[in-house]
Structure 1
Amino acid sequence: MTTSSPAAADGAPWRSSSAIVAGTVSSYHVLKVVGYSRTKDVANGKAIKSRPFLVGGCKWHVEYQPNGDKEKSIDFISLYLALDDNVEEPVKATAKFSLLDQDGKMVPSYSYTTILNNFSENGTWGFHKFIKREVLEKSEHLKDDSFTVRFDVTVMKDIHTQGTPIIVVPPSDMHRHFGDLLLSKEGADVKFRIRKKTFSAHRSVLAARSAVFKKMLLGPMKEGTTTSVIPIDDMEAEVFGDLLTFMYTDELPDMKEQEESEMVQHLLVAADRYNLERLKLICEDKLCKHIDTGSAATILALAEQHNCHGLKEACFEFLSASTALKAVMENDGFEYLTKN
């Protein structure tokens, strides 16, 4: 009989609370019975002990009884976990006994877990009818006259109360406040007209987010933007609205899956125009997921025009497959790509 064991392995922003903390220490021990047929000579009620092992600072061993621990279990194998140490403090633990198959995996029908037991009082705890010998001998789990059982032991450590104040810091909600500011238009001091739609915004916010807007709204050019509405003629209103949302909240609004690719392409152009590098990278990442035979040429041209190196590499990787390249060459977008 051989054994082995590995080394042992927890609203309002201000509140006061207490907690009861129960610690545990867990490890496992593997018992391999070699020469099973010879162990059957051991009499009923007699045990063979494994070598000791440590869990939770205590020494333990396994008791293997090949003919059962009592007369009523004489046809069964009995297994018990025993505490080797004499300790004054309570040692409370649970254990899972699991027969292992030939691949070292637990056999669910022969995996049992004990109740929480005070081993310093009771000494041993286990299962007097772990498995019937006849069942084991006919199973594939007994091979070369050997079988293996794993013991997962969890020892309860000291339970103590923590009464110190606990400070819970909530996640940042700055984006929500700025989003509300955009929606409410409170304190807005600049307006943009895109097609037939007007957007109100705050110069300081836009300037803080974009060097291009800073130059436009706070730099030498600002005289022409103080009273009149600033027109933007080469952008769709929906695109500019999503651009403003990102600048205030650092997030993009939800988009319909079938519309995402086209909208993100427009946003990438806007991000490059207003020097919003993070938005540009977000758009690149999203477009990488939309590269197919119908869009590869268009997205590649867009990536080249706006210096999107990661997106360009993704397009080249897609086109490196001969079947994909052939399909793209038959697409109208490829003709546009070669001309430009």
Structure 2
Amino acid sequence: MASPGYAANDIGVPSRSAIVGGTDTGHHLLDIEGYSLTKEPLPTGKCICSSSFYLSARASSWRICYFPNGDQPDDAEFISVYLELYYGGVVPVSGRARFSLLNQAGQPVPSHSQITEMHDFIQLGGTRFGFSKFIKRAWLEESEHLKDDRFTIRCDVFVSKELRTESRAAPPAFVKVPPSDLHLHFGNLLEDKKGADVMYQVGGETFLAHRCVLAARSAVFEAELFGPMKESANMAVIPVVDMEAEVFGALLHFVYTDMLHCGSGSKLQQASMAQHLLVAADRYGLERLKLLCEDKLCKHIDMDSVVTILLLAEQHNCPGLKKACFKFLSSPIDSEDSNGK
């Protein structure tokens, strides 16, 4: 027997399907030309219908019924409009209609744009749905929307599609592509020091690296190693001042692997390393490393560190970290709890 969630005929391949609903849409523009001449031949209760029109899927056709003197005696002062299913098979079609009077720019007039509820339409079965008091004739005849004895009604139709079930099973994978291990290879390159062509002196320790890798990752390194003030192509020692060796090592680790490494010490020690590494990242233009440090420090804000971290954020343009500090300071209850009070 197949495990739950897996196809019975293909053990180990996830089985998946979807129940899909949707809407078929379309619209029709009905121009009333010679409006004044439509009123006398069509008294109250009498209508004339538009040409039939299809929606996008062409599964059903529709027409608009126009009553210039209203559909019922109570509507005699209004124009009534209805949507009628002209062809759609024997099964009722569920849909709704939006009728809009258009202005001279072809845009709907907000005060005369109305949408029906969902209804079941039956082909030529007398099931018309719309509005008996769509436009008051006196208002229309005095408005700018009637020009040269002509106006336009737009009808948008929305029809619910029949629910269906579709397979969503993923095709079998004949080849499994492993995740990228590029960072591992570059990490090994840094550790093995093969082909290293530049040496840095930091806090009494030396670090071997590769000029092309450093330059590709940092514009600052690129200017230092290949710019007008570049160091000699020979294995010259480049001093780095105002930085601890451990921090520079973590910086090189990120340059080669794109991963943040704050050591394996306590949370306090890791937060301290993140602060120093943020400063180094800003110094060497490593924006991603800087953001990683910001994110880590946001999780280490407490009463003892918030002032230091806020100053750091201000000095090195870290808006996200700065917001996190202000949020912490604006929550006195959380601040007291974090300090064990």
Partner of residue 66, structure 2: 64
Cα deviation per residue 1:56-114 (whole Å; 9 max; x = unaligned)? 42221111001110011111110011111262123222221111110001112211112
Shift of 1:18: 3.4
Residue 49 of structure 1 aligns with which residue? 49
The change in CA–CA distance for 1:194 and 1:31 in structure 2 (over 3 A counts) is farther
Aligned-pair Cα RMSD in Å: 4.8
**Quick one: structure 1 residues 202 and 118, their matched pair in 2 at CA, closer, same or farther if it must change by over 3 Å?**
farther
- The Cα shift of 1:206 comes to 5.1
Distance in 2, Cα, partners of 1:198 & 1:235: 12
SS in 1 for 2:139: helix
Mapped partners of 2:161, 2:201: distance in 1: 67
Give aligned-pair identity as a percent: 34
Number of residue pairs aligned between Structure 1 and Structure 2: 219
Q: 1:38–1:166: structure 2 CA closer, same or farther, 3 Å change rule?
A: same
Residue 139 in 1 paired to residue 146 in 2?
Answer: no
Instruction: In structure 2, give the amino acid aligned to 1:75.
Output: E
Measure the CA separation in 1 of the matches of 2:205 and 2:35. Answer: 86
* Rounded Cα–Cα distance in structure 2 between residues aligned with 1:31 and 1:239: 74
CA contact (8 A) 2:18 2:168 kept: no
Whether the 8 Å contact between 1:188 and 1:200 is mirrored in structure 2 is no
What is the TM-score of this pair, normalised by structure 1? 0.51
Question: How far apart in 2 are the matches of 1:126 and 1:120?
Answer: 15
Structure 1: gaps of 5 or more residues? 1-13, 211-223, 251-259, 268-340
Provide the rounded CA distance (Å) in 2 between the counterparts of 1:24 and 1:233.
Answer: 68
Matches of 1:85 and 1:164, distance apart in 2:
33
Contact 2:200 2:207 in 1 (8 A): no
Aligned to 1:149: 153
Mark the CA change 1:262 to 1:104 in structure 2 (over 3 Å): closer, same or farther: farther
Q: Distance in 2 between matches of 1:86 and 1:49?
A: 17
Give 3-state SS (helix, strand or coil) of 1:84's partner: strand
8 Å CA contact 2:94–2:159 kept in 1: the answer is yes
- Name structure 2 gaps, 5 residues minimum: 1-12, 218-233, 260-280, 288-341
CA distance in 2, matches of 1:96, 1:160: 26
- In structure 2, C-alpha distance between the alignment counterparts of 1:141 and 1:243, rounded to whole Å: 72
**Structure in which a larger fraction of residues adopt helix:** 1
Structure 2 distance, partners of 1:21, 1:38, is 48
Query: TM-score under structure 2 normalisation?
Result: 0.50
Task: Write out per-residue CA displacement over residues 251-295 of structure 1, whole angstroms, 9 at most, x where no aligned residue.
Answer: xxxxxxxxx99976x99xxxxxxxxxxxxxxxxxxxxxxxxxxxx
CA distance in 1, matches of 2:88, 2:249: 76
| Aligned match of 1:271 | none
CA contact (8 A) 2:100 2:155 kept: yes
- What's the counterpart of residue 115 of structure 1? 117
Matched to 2:257, the amino acid is Y
Given candidates 245, 257, 271, the residue that maps to 1:248 is 257
Give, in angstroms, the shift of residue 150 of structure 1.
0.7
Q: Is the 8 A contact 2:16 2:167 kept in 1?
A: yes
How far is the alpha carbon of 1:165 from its aligned partner? 3.0
Identify which of 83, 97, 100 aligns with 2:99. 97
Shift, 1:147, TM fit = 0.8
1:84 and 1:206, CA in 2 relative to 1: closer, same or farther beyond 3 A? same
**Superposition deviation, residue 248 in structure 1:** 3.5
Give how far 1:134 is off. 1.5
